[in-house]
Structure 1
């Protein structure tokens, strides 16, 4: 009898112990399930928030694009047009540019923003937003864009004649012959009109922040368009000057010295860069001469309005085939644009007027060949 009781007690203990172990296991499983469900819920909420944020940006871009009939493209369409990004026609600070066949003999240029080159979605969306707001014959136009499967792509006007930098400085461009004095004046005027539009007509105004010869694409030898709006900053009509310093953006040799010293950017920063561009057109030299900027290299020549002094800074490929009074006007404009005091610099409307006036009524004085 005692043995039977002991055996029964032992069996009960085993059942109780097993039940406790089972309860513990179930508790652990339920806790893990609860954590999993909570994580999934948070993930869904985050994804929904991200989709909402992207949808909001998409709606903003769509509302802007309706006035310019800009369309969005699927990634597969861009891949077909570029033959899977086969022909690279340009390289930017954060992007590569590829040739795209649009059909009916039309071509486009696809700017592919690359994260590994420092590009990011915010910069891409900012550039699209700016391109959708602006329209001018001297600005490279947006044809469409793609934000699909991690790709950030802009479909832009295609300029087969390359950039002003290529035309002035690369062997192939120079082999096409010297860019004439009248062509250089015309190109300068086109870019002056483009910047005046960005500063005075666009709403809100746009500060380009990267005016340079490689961002000036040639329609032909006499006409050009300003490109690459990836570093643009929106301004305000009542106060263009930034209230707080910003990270310095731009290219060495072209960047406004006042902007470098203070971090404050304004349309007058673009005016400074345009002044360097004028020196590049006059001299045929790059914006940097070793460690010396072109503005520094020409400073002594620019102080003197004597014809011989002006000839000393002139592109030798021109063989003296320039109008000396027009040259004086361009050097004077460059001097004013490069003033250390940014507030004393002329605006782009004034600069465009000066260049246009000397082209419409060219003085008779010419430098000897």
Structure 2
């Protein structure tokens, strides 16, 4: 029998026939794929054209000029320089960076994080942060919109959260004059950050240790909800689920750094748990993470380990004027105590902390997860 000019009785001919058929099949599939991509590009261009016409008529309801949600793109330096008006309006300062307001058009804003080599921001740290931000998506984590690595500049375009940080709200004159965070506000914020850390530790692939959980890295959407930001010190990899096996350079902020990590150089998700414990004390007491020459954890230790609810009540931020649910106060202090154990293995994981905090909320206080 003959097929395509080759005898099917010959083994070599069969192999040649098979190879020809495979090439034909791949060619057909490739052509279909090209046609699909072209059709998608046409649809995208058509939508963008329609959106552009609507914007000119002032009838567009969309605030995005990108085709499709969640699109992350690279930006030219001039684009971000123009958007920030030459890096004019500074809205934040980090250990290795400055953050500037960016106007993206159509009433949209972003935050440009400008990583500075002269402040210790290396290209490796920048690329590591980009790598982390590209991997994660959670309603309580600040999202990446784009980035730029051009002419020595290292820029991240991030989601803009207008209400500044938890640190600003609690510890600056302007923040306190703008209104007090109620007890229920503080519980809701604690739950949001617990959810963010639980996502990083148990749902992100690979798992991520933040290593710099602190009130200045928590941005307030409003008084009820918050997002965790700044992934410049993150450690990621499948080995993080149980912690590093070899000592690493200790990273973090004074007062928040895990004592086990400080003493051994071994970092794990429980290092974030410790920092979260300090954050809980900050929300409860209204005090900063450092009190004179002591950490807040050390300064409150004797009082917070007392079983008498009246003694625990003395830890409460005086600005609340006693307006707090005492049983919820006990639960949060118990969570903080377990999170601050010197032995990291004895600390709970963030999923348990999320469950514990959400369980102590009144049904009308329990906030649903924000949509991604």
Q: Same fold (TM over 0.5)?
A: yes
Q: Secondary structure at the match of 1:98?
A: strand
2:113 is aligned, of 111, 114, 118, to 111
Quote how far apart the aligned CAs of 1:232 are: 0.1
User: What does 1:1-369 align with in structure 2 at a 5 Å threshold?
Assistant: 68-236=70-238, 239-360=241-362
Quote how far apart the aligned CAs of 1:68 are: 4.2
CA deviations over 1:9-53 (Å, ceiling 9, x no partner):
xxxxxxxxxxxxxxxxxxxxxxxxxxxxxxxxxxxxxxxxxxxxx
Quote how far apart the aligned CAs of 1:306 are: 1.6
Q: Secondary structure at the match of 1:298?
A: helix
Q: C-alpha separation between the residues in 2 aligned to 1:92 and 1:165?
A: 13
Q: Which runs of 5+ in 1 are unaligned?
A: 1-65, 364-369
Q: Secondary structure at the match of 2:314?
A: helix
Q: Secondary structure at the match of 1:258?
A: helix
Q: C-alpha separation between the residues in 1 aligned to 2:223 and 2:205?
A: 31
CA deviations over 1:94-129 (Å, ceiling 9, x no partner):
000000000010100000000000011111000000
Task: Flag as ranges the 4+ runs of structure 1 deviating above 6 A.
Answer: none
Q: C-alpha separation between the residues in 1 aligned to 2:246 and 2:240?
A: 16
Confirm or deny: 8 A CA contact 1:142 1:155 kept in the other structure.
yes
Quote how far apart the aligned CAs of 1:239 are: 4.6
Q: Secondary structure at the match of 1:220?
A: coil
Quote how far apart the aligned CAs of 1:361 are: 5.0
Quote how far apart the aligned CAs of 1:83 are: 0.2
RMSD: 1.5
Quote how far apart the aligned CAs of 1:360 are: 3.7
Quote how far apart the aligned CAs of 1:176 are: 1.4
Confirm or deny: 8 A CA contact 2:207 2:241 kept in the other structure.
no
Structure showing the higher helix proportion among its residues: 1
Confirm or deny: 8 A CA contact 2:165 2:216 kept in the other structure.
yes
Quote how far apart the aligned CAs of 1:165 are: 0.2
Say how many residue pairs are matched.
298
Q: C-alpha separation between the residues in 1 aligned to 2:167 and 2:157?
A: 22
Q: Secondary structure at the match of 2:361?
A: helix
Confirm or deny: 8 A CA contact 2:207 2:240 kept in the other structure.
no
Confirm or deny: 8 A CA contact 2:241 2:269 kept in the other structure.
no
Confirm or deny: 8 A CA contact 1:144 1:156 kept in the other structure.
yes
Larger Rg: 1
Q: C-alpha separation between the residues in 2 aligned to 1:176 and 1:311?
A: 25
Q: Secondary structure at the match of 1:146?
A: strand
Q: C-alpha separation between the residues in 2 aligned to 1:219 and 1:101?
A: 19
Q: C-alpha separation between the residues in 2 aligned to 1:325 and 1:356?
A: 13
State the TM-score, normalizing by the size of structure 2.
Answer: 0.78
Confirm or deny: 8 A CA contact 1:131 1:142 kept in the other structure.
yes
CA deviations over 1:208-245 (Å, ceiling 9, x no partner):
00000000000000000000000000032685311110
Quote how far apart the aligned CAs of 1:269 are: 0.1
